[in-house]
A and B are shown apart, each in its own frame.
Chain A
Amino acid sequence: MSDEITLTIDGKTVTVPRGATIFEAARKLGIEIPHLCYKPELGLPPTSSCRLCVVEVEGAKSLVASCSHPVSPGMVVRTDTERLRNVRRMVIDLLLSNHPHDCLTCEKSGECDLQKYAYALGVRQPEFAGEPVMVQPIEDGPAIIYDPSKCILCGRCVEICHQVQVTGAIDYQGRGFNTRVTLPPGLPRDRSGCAECGNCVDVCPTGALSYAGAQGLGRAWEMKRVPTICPYCGCGCTVVLNIRDNRVVKITGAPGVGVNKGLLCVKGRFGMDWVGHGDRLTRPMLRRNGRLEPVSWEEALDYAARRLDEIRRESGPDAIGGLASAKCTNEENYVFQKFMRAVIGTNNVDHCARLCHASTVAGLAKAFGSGAMTNSIEDFDVTDCIFVIGSNTTECHPVIGAAIKRAATQRKVPLIVADPRSIELVEFAEVHLRQKGGTDVALINAMIHVIIEEGLEDAEFIARRTEGFEELKKAVAPYTPEMGEKITGVPAADIVKAARIYANAKAASIVYSMGITQHSHGTDNVLALANLAMVTGNVGKPGAGVNPLRGQNNVQGACDMGALPNLLPGYQSVTDDALRAKFEKAWGVTIPSRPGLTVVEMMNAAAEGRLRALYIMGENPMLSDPDIAHVEEGLRRLDLLIVQDIFMSETAQIAHVVLPAVGFAEKDGTFTNTERRVQRVRKGIEPPGEARPDWVITCDLARRLGREMSYHNEAAIQDEIASLTPIYGGITYDRLERGALQWPCPDRNHPGTPYLHKEKFTRGLGKFHAVEFVPSKELPDADYPFLLSTGRILQHFHTGTMSRRSSVLDRLVSVGAIEIHPTDANRLGVRDGERVRVKSRRGQIEIAARVTDRVAPGTVFLAFHYREAPANRLTIAALDPVAKIPEFKVCAVRIEPAR
């Protein structure tokens, strides 16, 4: 059988692969067949329900739907005959007979497919006017309005919800003319399982589904559309800003475009209304008489520069520290670290990556030579097994979460989930390993033990590409499944099962996140996962790898740009003389060779008075860092605190100088997402008030400190980055306009690198590390009997600076809650929704209880988004000895009813 099929469409011959549909073949010829239900750009399977795409096939008894009908050799197809036009006209006629004719005021007007085809086919008045659907629009939440009377039941929304988003919240209900697409009857949207991703809204061809927040704010032809990158998590989704009158009216996906292929999550789609929020900082401020007062840029910058200069002269450059930002662009982070190193003269520069993936950077660098996600998001389409550990992917990285669910449901890829909580992915998992918090090393070692014991290791790979296997073998020998069960609480049989599934897959992918990294032994966790991947040969090929999911939109980029105390841009060690010399030459300065302080070390140093000034760009340690009380103590002792941000964050409130910066929608630049993909951020609107881009502010400060740092524009910064950073060496704005690039991309002709360590690890041979299970620093005891774990929820992000200023997200989830198991709640006499007092050795908060068996008995879970109940008042600043990452995931607390 030939794999190619030749057929004739409208008299033209075309050859397409076997299995292609008539629609696809026609498209190849440039023939666009009318269609309403089909939406191939978003990966929706054809449902053939609208019947608009029917075509004539010679010899066929009836008309066939081109969207689903496969081609066959010699087929003769006609796509535009009078017979077909009649059928199509009647389809449109029937749809219009059941549709309000309010195009004049419809939100969708101008981009409505029904309107388009009614016009194209000349259906003016429906001949078969009859009873319409008389249903009032349903506004059951802040995000989505559903008007069933405009629904043409094309099924796109149902398909995207089931097949692509794999939420399955909506479905058809009823039969015949009364068929409707609905949420489960009787359940309000917020309890229906709907994730409010709004992908259904994007695919709706009519005005049936629309953005609640965009009603009346403009229609298709009035919008300027600017594609850019989402500022929330590390997925790096392409979002389209729909702008009218310098206002971001709504966010849409670009079908088929970006790592998200047009899909978005609730935050990316509905959580952007903070952009035009009234709280935005619009003028620089100086603290005078204990109060922050608006001043001119000149005054603010002069003051900041003068004080920095004084402190540097008084106490040396190392008395000054800088926190760069995982939210800012690569260019801004590059300029910032250059400012610290070249202008101030210190390596005291770090950023919040310290709090999330420092252990990844450290661990993977040790094992592989490079601390980044080895493979690509697209690889979930080809992998044969997914092992998710310590990642609540569907909430924290929703678009990747959906990709994992798709693999599990559509391709039946076995999914292993290791998580102390029963997260959503557990529903899709073959096996759920519910380990006790902080016991990951034991779990992974036990899996490796089983693999070696059963001879499932990839001996060839181990021999050819790795070193240190014998030590590993020795180290895991005691970790029998039974031993694993004893430490982790996971049944031995499940450990064996998981090990076999993982080891037997042709290409198995490990996905992890902060459940692995935020431990005092986070680096060991990462090393153990690297061991697991290498022992089975799952590195250096598509669909495999060790894949840390980065938490912030540009945390990867901020690391890449050297906003780290020990590394220059591109992970070039500050202690390496040759590399340092390269930068010294380029910048024309001397760079200190001693690594600087990390985030938590800076707070400690501040508290001790060793650090006198801190320049913070877009970070909020007052909420994000562990043991806030201690953080506040340090910050308040500073002689100079400069905060450059878009909102008056908790940290800015105690600053001496506050500088208004611009948000993502207001600037150009690049973000690097979790899979090392460098993507263009594009300016859509003018910033509010006097706000300025961060890099401009930093350069202005530099100038006042006597060093000219000036760039014509962002592209020029990128060119400097490329010239000094081999992994970014081939990345230019010109190329990025044509498509994003994954580093390493060493030269202008390099296509980028979808997966790392292909033939050879970055460090040469992959190195096994013998790691031992070490208990967490602070475990529950009689006084503090609960193990507290912290993390994120779907609807909010980080310290809530953005997400809690989104009216949609804030209405979806307005108050925080601590998850507590029913048995524990019962014992404490706490009912769902009641307020509890949570105490640790470092502080206490009050918050509502959510009684749920998502958490295991004896453990509680708290998101850290809420300033009114800051989780980090409770957390411990116990640090990983290598990565200096704090142990956010495990500390001991006591809970009592707050009556």
Chain B
Amino acid sequence: MERMQSVHDLNRIREELRSRPRPDVEIRVCSTGCRALGALDVCRDLESEIAAQGLQGRVRVIRTGCLGLCAGAVAVSIQPGDIFYRGVAPSDVREIVEKTVVGGAVIERLCASGQNGPVANREEVSFFKHQMRRVLSNCGVIDPRSLEDAIAHGAYSALAKVLSGMSPDAVINEVIASGLRGRGGAGFPTGKKWQFCRSAPGHPKYVICNADEGDPGAFMDRALLEGDPHLVIEGMIIGAYAIGANSGVVYVRAEYPIAIEHTELALNQAREAGLLGRNILGSGFDFDIEIRKGAGAFVCGEETALIASVEGKRGMPRPRPPFPAVSGLYGKPTNINNVETWGNVPGIILNGAAAYASVGTAGSKGTKIFALAGKVSNTGLVEVPMGATLRQIVFDVGGGIPRGRKFKAAQMGGPSGGCVPAQFLDLPIDYDSVQKIGAIMGSGGLIVMDEATCMVDIARFFTDFVQKESCGKCVPCRIGTRRMLEILTRITNGQGELEDIDRLQRLGEMIKEASLCGLGQTAPNPVLSTIRYFRDEYVAHIVEKRCPANSCEALITTTCSSACPAHVNVPEYVALIAEGRISEALDVIRRRNPFPSVCGRACHHPCEKFCRRGDLDAPVAIRDLKRFASDHVKEIGHPPVWRGPRRGRVAVIGSGPAGLSAAYFLALMGREVKVFEALDVVGGVLAVGIPGYRLPRRALKRDIEYIRRAGVDIETNHPVRSLHELKEAGFDAVFVAVGAHKGLPLGVPGEDLRGVEDALSFLRRVARGKVKKLRGRVVVVGGGNAAVDSARTALRLGASSVTILYRRTRDEMPAIRDEIEDAIMEGVDMRFLVAPVAILGDGRVHAVRCAEMTLGDADESGRRRPVPTGKEVEVQADYVIVAIGQAPELDFASDDGTLVVSRGRMEAHPVTQRSGEGNVFAGGDVVTGPATIIEAIAAGQRAAQAIDVFLGGTGELPPEVPLASRAKPDESVAQIPRQPVEVVPADVRRGNFDEVLKAYSLQTACTEARRCLRCDLEKQETRRHV
């Protein structure tokens, strides 16, 4: 390009560039971030295909910077039409040229998916729709290697404005008025910083662009330098002009070769064009920039360390004051801003401070770029207004959490930041709000964490990072972070003690308070914030030696087995099924869970949520395999019965999953066990709560029979009135497992009307055969499993319509996902965001009056709180089933002062299930409130172990003997898709109580079982190596 001598030259050239004829079609391919996934191959193939089709000149392939959606690499956008394709491979090139470029048609396969199918237009893609791309406006649009492209898209217009008559003070005032705060992390007002440097005595002055982006998972600065380097350079020139600096440095980490290359190129172009160097645009202002490469020290992001590094010294921070604005590079006044901050400057100057500040919150103006990473669907680079909520970023832009897992927290601000738990999902994010909750904005790294992320381990990871990256200068940071790491490692290894939490907090506070630089002062944030919000997880690691996220290697066997509360050896039995050794597989299950038939059907299978295969395609169908095993083996079989004399008498109250599990294991350990059941049927909630179409009675009976064979004596129709009577009867220990059978009332007028019933009582009556038919309109209130079970049961009893009323939305429903799906398919109507305020009727119910709700801010769990809109609506009803929760009935306990009861439930130790100091143990729903079958089984298992120990035994469960092959699966198993289970069609099944799901055949079961990746073998291997 010719050397421009004046602003006029620049404007003229811009006009010339803009008036050049444009190609018919422009194909923009992200060639920076997507390069690793073959973007350059795509470009090359596109060009050759275009040439082959004779379309040169009419079609232009632009190698752009990052388009943003890294999860969709290689990302491509096509003009006209702004068509956005994701996941483009060279094999798609021909089709793209033929169909889209030539034919103008959209290839749906390559489109992003929306709620109603594929979305072609980029602006309509959810990921882009919720963003506000100001700083990134040219990133992914222009060719970052072309100054012409940049100028045509407005580059250096702001510089032209500055050089056309703005005084340095006017520039600074504009930046101050805009409210721009430093995007590097601390959020210091940029204009003020410039002013300090401008007014500091000393010459020469320097400006520095900090591109030493070192946070794990952060790539904002990198993308900006790669995708629009002239924007940053323009910002620096304007800043230098305002401050009175004549030289500048871009300090960029050497690990960013493309950023370095593009910046270098841009600097050369700008220099040649008269935009940089001596006498910029004829203004008389001299300013030049050089690049310095950082050697990858995280601490060099700290400004005094960065300056030392630029000076050729070891990058170590020094105490401030003096601040760099007074004494910086070579002891001269120096202004340092990070890449994104500089990138904001041209927009402020060009459009004015007011326009800039029209976006954002009171204290934080403009937009912020985040690097969205971790357990989120749309990982990538996003720019949103200050004040956007985490929910908007993670769910609207980010597309939520994959694999149906729950959002747990987001790590903001990298290792210096803190974790933001779900309860703050709706907090408007800006510098001040984030700081208040113990995190920092940081440079914009945002790592999303789900249920499978262990917060202790995350804290350990970041602490490991900072302790390695500490410059080693000051004691708190160098040694303190190491000691924190040691404590955290101890905890994740299951060797922690409760005092360790206090130690971490004290050490963390001290490190924050006493460290020399920002690195140390923020290093403990991840630990302190996880302790603040996830203390339970620390306690679980320490007390229960359990990692709730099933992630800490030392505390888990395999993720599936560890996710199973009863710790069934999943890989073992799945492997045995793959080998066709079904009966042995069933034995393996029963070593830890006496309810294979029940759990094969009705378990919420947390094992599958954590199955590693799920990261590849879909988890192994563990539950269905269990069902298969329990169905396939016709004989009920015999447990390894205790041969010796039985010692120690244990009473179990309640024959639900908790009670019977405890009884089963105690019997196997040689205790004399007697189960007291108040009803005339055995099984508790399994018998009278779960409808037959989910859990046929015969399946339950098989499991109960097996338990009996272990030597368990069950007495029905024997309600226990008081614990005292059991002690009198000579029992050495008691296990209370009465469940939670008392339906909670709505607490609204009209609940006593006829036709209003709680779900448990309704289901129990149906199970006992007391209800055969149901006519009319049934309304079910609630969103849990009891609600869905009631609704589907009502449908099967002949209700003309069944409507579920739920105060939140489907996303927040606690019921098992598949059950909701099935209910809808069977015809259950669901109405969301309504909460009953009264049940109307005249003796008998005829309608429910509901308040319309809307979702407000997140509650503790991260779910948004329903808040009334003020509007009300009536729903006609002949029956109302209330399914909003259950509580235990603790009447029997009223006379016993030794029991510990709190908030309507019994309290018990999480590991021993012991309640108080005596010989009473408790577990299942009576302790937890309504929970899951497998958790109740696990509680029974733990109680059995603890009771055995209490009675002088070892508490050892039946030994597990490895039987299955130790051969690792070959690569071919990766190709096997998850085997579907046959389902009875909705219109057939809704008419009866027959089981909805069919079992696998032997062949499909073996095939499915072969999909297991056998993580257990890896684990054994690493153990050997250790």
Contact = CB atoms under 8 A, between A and B. Distances in A.
B482 A90 contact: no
B472 interface: yes
Interface stretch (B236-244, B511-519, B915-923, B962-970): B511-519
Contact of B470 (A47, A91, A171, A176): A176
Contacts of B516: 48-49, 51, 65
B321 interface: yes
Contact of A130 (B314, B318, B468, B482): B482
Interface string A72-98: 000000000000001100110011011
A843 interface: no
Given A62-B513, A63-B513, A87-B514, A97 B479 contact: yes
Interface string A404-416: 0000000000000
The residue in B299, B471, B486, B513 that gathers the most chain A C-beta atoms within 10 A of its C-beta is B513
Contacts of A567: none
Contacts of A63: 513-514
Interface string A130-152: 11000000000000000000001
A68 interface: yes
Nearest to B322: A70
B475 A177 contact: no
Interface residues of B, number: 34
Given A153-B478, A176-B470, A171 B514 contact: no
Contacts of B319: 46-48, 65, 68-69
Nearest to A152: B475
Contacts of A54: 513-514
A98 B321 contact: no
B472 A174 contact: yes
Contacts of A62: 512-513, 521
B657 interface: no
Interface in B433-487: 467-476, 478-483, 486
The residue in B319, B503, B506 that gathers the most chain A C-beta atoms within 10 A of its C-beta is B319
A172 B471 CA distance: 9
A896 interface: no
A727 interface: no
B723 interface: no
B486 A176 contact: no
Contacts of B506: 90
Given A48-B318, A69-B321, A177 B467 contact: yes
A153 B486 contact: no
B777 to A, nearest CB: 64
A94 B480 contact: yes
A176 B473 CA distance: 8
B473 A47 contact: yes
Nearest to A98: B479
Q: Is the interface of A mostly helix, strand, loop or mixed?
A: loop
A179 interface: yes
A203 to B, nearest CB: 17
Interface residues of A, number: 37
Contact of B469 (A95, A152, A171, A176): A176
Contact of B507 (A46, A49, A128): A128
B316 A97 contact: no
Contacts of A95: 475, 479
Interface in B952-995: none
Contacts of B911: none
A175 B472 contact: yes
B69 interface: no
Given A69-B319, A175-B297, A175-B472, A87 B510 contact: yes
A47 B318 contact: yes
B514 A177 contact: no
Given A47-B318, A176-B468, A179-B471, A91 B507 contact: no
A686 interface: no
B318 A172 contact: no
Nearest to A129: B483
Contacts of A49: 473-475, 516
Contacts of B472: 153, 172, 174-179
A155 interface: yes
A172 B314 contact: yes
Interface in A718-759: none
Contacts of B515: 51
A48 B479 contact: no
A127 interface: yes
A176 B523 CA distance: 12
Given A48-B319, A51-B516, A63-B514, A94 B483 contact: yes
A155 B469 CA distance: 18
A131 B469 contact: no
A50 interface: yes
A94 B470 contact: no
A204 to B, nearest CB: 16
A177 B482 CA distance: 6
A152 B479 CA distance: 10
Nearest to A54: B514
A736 to B, nearest CB: 41
Interface in B358-401: none
Contacts of A47: 318-319, 473
Interface string A622-639: 000000000000000000
Interface string A496-521: 00000000000000000000000000
A177 B479 contact: yes
A127 B486 CA distance: 13
Contacts of B478: 153, 176-177, 179
A131 B503 contact: no
A128 B473 contact: no
A525 B473 CA distance: 50
Contact of A94 (B297, B299, B479): B479
A176 B482 CA distance: 8
B496 to A, nearest CB: 14
Given A48-B318, A172-B314, A91 B503 contact: no
B475 A91 contact: yes
A809 to B, nearest CB: 32
A162 to B, nearest CB: 9
Nearest to B476: A51
A62 B511 CA distance: 11
Contacts of B503: 127-128
Contacts of B514: 51, 54, 63, 87, 90-91
Nearest to A72: B321
Given A48-B516, A51-B516, A155 B486 contact: no
A437 B501 CA distance: 74
B318 A175 contact: no
A443 to B, nearest CB: 33
A556 B469 CA distance: 55
Interface string A776-794: 0000000000000000000
A149 to B, nearest CB: 13
A86 B514 CA distance: 11
Contact of B471 (A48, A70, A152, A175): A175
A49 B515 CA distance: 8
A127 B510 CA distance: 14
Interface in B491-533: 503, 506-507, 510, 512-516, 521
A171 B313 CA distance: 10
Interface of A: 46-52, 54, 62-63, 65, 68-70, 86-87, 90-91, 94-95, 97-98, 127-128, 130-131, 152-153, 155, 171-172, 174-179
14 contacts: A48-B318, A48-B319, A62-B513, A69-B321, A91-B475, A91-B514, A94-B476, A94-B480, A127-B503, A130-B483, A172-B473, A175-B472, A176-B472, A179-B473
Q: Which 8 A-B pairs have the closest CB atoms?
A: A179-B472, A48-B319, A68-B319, A94-B479, A177-B482, A128-B483, A176-B470, A130-B486
Given A69-B321, A176-B481, 18 more contacts: A49-B473, A49-B474, A51-B514, A51-B515, A54-B513, A62-B513, A90-B506, A91-B476, A91-B514, A97-B483, A128-B507, A130-B482, A131-B486, A153-B478, A155-B473, A175-B470, A176-B471, A177-B481
